[in-house]
């Protein structure tokens, strides 16, 4: 059996794992990251996209608020290209306790979260679609964050410093000898090859799956999977991140994300983090709560629904509700906890605080190895963010409709040009169109792939990249994956769009009978 060697093996390809790999590589450790699927396929790629100011947690979870505002400021410097500075509003609707506003002010003052009260008339001038009956409004430095750009930026930076990033590599077992973790047995999910990775320290950054990884070393990590459902609407109903002025609850965030808008989120405990089926009751709840923020919200077009699972850590299982679990992170040194050396777990937290979590985890690695190496991730920008220029919504407007000697647009919704698509396919060396979607936002606009995904499939096949059977499989697999987020919201305009897509793919292309 073949093997690889590393100082640090990172398990998990979300924001925390990619952050750990980058931090470790920047500190000079030879590093390997493994992820059972594609990077950003788990929790990080399935959240609402809010870069928290900390305001949401200032009253109920002050330690999480302190972490959020500190990391918010750092990420604006080092991950600027991944952020749109939408700003944030906290507003009190007629359904919210009017006394909470005073608690909010005190909480923000205590945690260092900048919050300025503005007249209701000013809030409505900024966001004219908001409920005209709101009673109070506060401005906070929230922003919109692109999780795919963030994680792949960390991965590219890690690779530039010598790390190996291995998506589609599943951990089958951990190698434990004399109460020390020496590495892992891994399987390449594409080739089926199994091999060992020997390392001095293993960092368990598997998020909601961290408990499953820990059991392979005979350790216990109590991570509760809190499933949250979100819905993307087909245009920017608001241009600021709008939060309800209340204790965190379901459906109280409305966030602009690129050309769409996201309402979120619910929070329900699920025993299996891979079981995230979306129920109609969750969809109805979110649409009803959106109506309280923006009258007429239910009549807007719901574009796509999805669910993610939060890794909520509690050392005991006494907490009944997942909303009562802190959003702060937890570092578990298993040498101190269970006497198992060479193994640490970093879990909990939020995407906003991923960089801090990575720093804490690699500090623990340094202690395990008996060395001192300074963290520089708060100072060194990610690739693409060197100019410290925040992302602008007009970034892709240079693309134009096809005219002689101009770029061909493959996805009109997201303004993805042919050259950009071809470059991404080549760089990723993948035939999985869902992986390409995460990198480019392919088929994430109003048509949900109805007009662009068969074009992308043709480009994937063009130039003998793949034969026709593999291209057909890629197309069908993509359509099946997209359908998971469409069937819970099939009504109104989206139902009509889904029917049109069905005519295209079933009636014209007959995808169920393609030779594959």
Task: Based on the fold, state whether residues 116 and 17 are members of the same structural domain.
Answer: no
What are the tokens at 64?
Answer: 């999480």
Q: Which residue from 80, 81, 78 is spatially nearest to 26, judged by alpha carbons? A: 78
Q: Which residue from 480, 484, 489 is spatially nearest to 281, judged by alpha carbons? A: 489
Task: Based on the fold, state whether residues 131 and 270 are members of the same structural domain.
Answer: yes
pLDDT at res. 377: 98
Distance CA 382, CA 420 (A): 20
Looking at the DSSP bridge assignments, the partners of residue 409 are: 417
CATH number of the structural domain spanning residue 363? 3.50.50.60
Task: Based on the fold, state whether residues 90 and 217 are members of the same structural domain.
Answer: no
pLDDT at res. 320: 46
Phi, psi (rounded to 5 degrees) for 8: -130, 130
Place of tokens 């042919």: 418
Element (H, E) at 195: strand 194-204
Q: List, for residues 337-379, the tens digit of each pLDDT value.
A: 999 999 999 999 999 999 999 999 999 999 999 999 999 999 9
CATH number of the structural domain spanning residue 81? 3.30.9.10
Within a domain: 388? no
CB 345 within 8 A of CB 315: no
Distance CA 325, CA 311 (A): 10
What's this model's pTM, rounded to 2 decimal places? 0.92
Asked whether residue 403 carries a pLDDT value surpassing 70, the answer given is no
Within a domain: 196? yes
Domain boundary among 271, 304, 337: 304
pLDDT at res. 253: 96
Within a domain: 189? yes
Task: Based on the fold, state whether residues 359 and 498 are members of the same structural domain.
Answer: no
- Note down the domain range covering 332: 3-43+148-222+326-369
Which string of DSSP letters, residue by residue, matches 419-467? HHHHHHHHHHT---HHHHHHHH-TT-STTTTTTTHHHHHHHHHGGGSS-
467 band by pLDDT with thresholds 50, 70 and 90 = confident
Asked whether residue 327 carries a pLDDT value surpassing 60, the answer given is no
Distance CA 70, CA 68 (A): 5
Task: Based on the fold, state whether residues 153 and 233 are members of the same structural domain.
Answer: no
The 8-class DSSP code of residue 234 comes to: S
Asked whether residue 95 carries a pLDDT value surpassing 90, the answer given is yes
What are the tokens at 108?
Answer: 């923000």
Which residue did the predictor score with more confidence, 58 or 328?
58
pLDDT at res. 112: 97
CB 340 within 8 A of CB 220: no
Phi, psi (rounded to 5 degrees) for 331: -105, 125
Average pLDDT, the chain: 91
Q: List, for residues 123-161, the tens digit of each pLDDT value.
A: 999 999 999 999 999 999 999 999 999 999 999 999 999
Q: Tell me the CB-side half-sphere exposure of residue 166, using CA atoms within 13 A.
A: 21
Asked whether residue 316 carries a pLDDT value surpassing 80, the answer given is no
Asked whether residue 275 carries a pLDDT value surpassing 80, the answer given is yes
Domain count across the chain: 3
pLDDT at res. 318: 47
Which residue did the predictor score with more confidence, 317 or 106?
106
């Amino acid at each position: 059996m073949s093997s690889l060697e590393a100082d640090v093996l990172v398990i998990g390809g979300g924001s925390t794992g990619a952050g750990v790999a980058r931090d470790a590589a920047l500190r000079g450790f030879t590093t390997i990251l493994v992820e059972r699927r594609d990077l950003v396929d788990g929790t990080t790629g399935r959240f609402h996209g809010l870069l928290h100011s900390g305001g949401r947690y200032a009253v109920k979870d002050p330690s999480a608020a302190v972490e959020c505002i500190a990391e918010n400021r750092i990420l604006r410097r080092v991950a600027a290209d991944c952020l749109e500075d939408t700003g944030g509003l906290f507003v009190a609707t007629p359904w919210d306790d009017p006394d909470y506003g005073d608690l909010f002010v005190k909480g923000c003052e205590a945690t260092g979260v900048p919050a300025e009260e503005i007249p209701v008339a000013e809030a409505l001038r900024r966001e004219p679609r908001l409920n005209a009956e709101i009673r109070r409004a506060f401005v906070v430095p929230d922003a919109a964050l692109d999780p795919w750009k963030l994680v792949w930026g960390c991965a590219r930076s890690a690779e530039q410093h010598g790390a190996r990033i291995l998506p589609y590599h599943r951990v089958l077992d951990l190698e434990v000898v004399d109460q020390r973790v020496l590495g892992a047995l891994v399987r390449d999910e594409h080739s089926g090859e199994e091999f060992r990775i020997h390392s001095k320290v293993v960092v368990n950054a598997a998020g909601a799956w961290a408990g499953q990884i820990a059991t392979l070393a005979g350790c216990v990590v109590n991570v509760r999977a809190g499933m949250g459902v979100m819905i993307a609407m087909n245009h920017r109903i608001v241009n600021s991140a709008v939060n309800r002025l209340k204790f965190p609850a379901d459906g109280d965030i409305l966030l602009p994300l690129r050309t769409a808008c996201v309402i979120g989120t619910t929070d329900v405990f699920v025993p299996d983090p891979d079981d995230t089926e979306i129920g109609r009751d969750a969809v109805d709840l979110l649409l009803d709560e959106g109506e309280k923020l923006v009258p007429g919200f239910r009549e807007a077009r719901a574009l796509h629904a999805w669910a993610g699972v939060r890794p909520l850590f509690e050392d005991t299982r006494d907490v009944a509700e997942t909303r009562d679990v802190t959003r702060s992170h937890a570092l578990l040194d298993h040498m101190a906890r269970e006497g198992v050396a060479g193994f640490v777990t970093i879990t909990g937290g939020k995407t906003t605080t991923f960089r801090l979590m990575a720093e804490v985890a690699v500090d623990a690695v340094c202690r395990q190895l008996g060395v001192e190496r300074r963290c520089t991730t708060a100072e060194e920008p990610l690739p693409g963010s060197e100019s410290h220029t925040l992302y602008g919504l007009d970034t892709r407007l240079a693309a134009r409709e096809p005219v002689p000697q101009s770029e061909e647009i493959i996805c009109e919704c997201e303004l993805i040009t042919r050259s950009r698509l071809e470059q991404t396919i080549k760089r990723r060396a993948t035939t999985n169109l869902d992986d390409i979607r995460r990198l480019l936002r392919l088929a994430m606009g109003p048509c949900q792939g109805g007009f662009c995904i068969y074009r992308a499939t043709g480009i994937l096949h063009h130039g003998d990249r793949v034969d026709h059977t593999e291209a057909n499989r890629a197309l069908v697999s993509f359509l099946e994956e997209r359908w998971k987020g469409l069937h819970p919201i099939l009504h109104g305009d989206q139902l009509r769009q889904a029917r049109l897509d069905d005519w295209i793919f079933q009636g014209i292309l007959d995808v169920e009978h393609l030779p594959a």
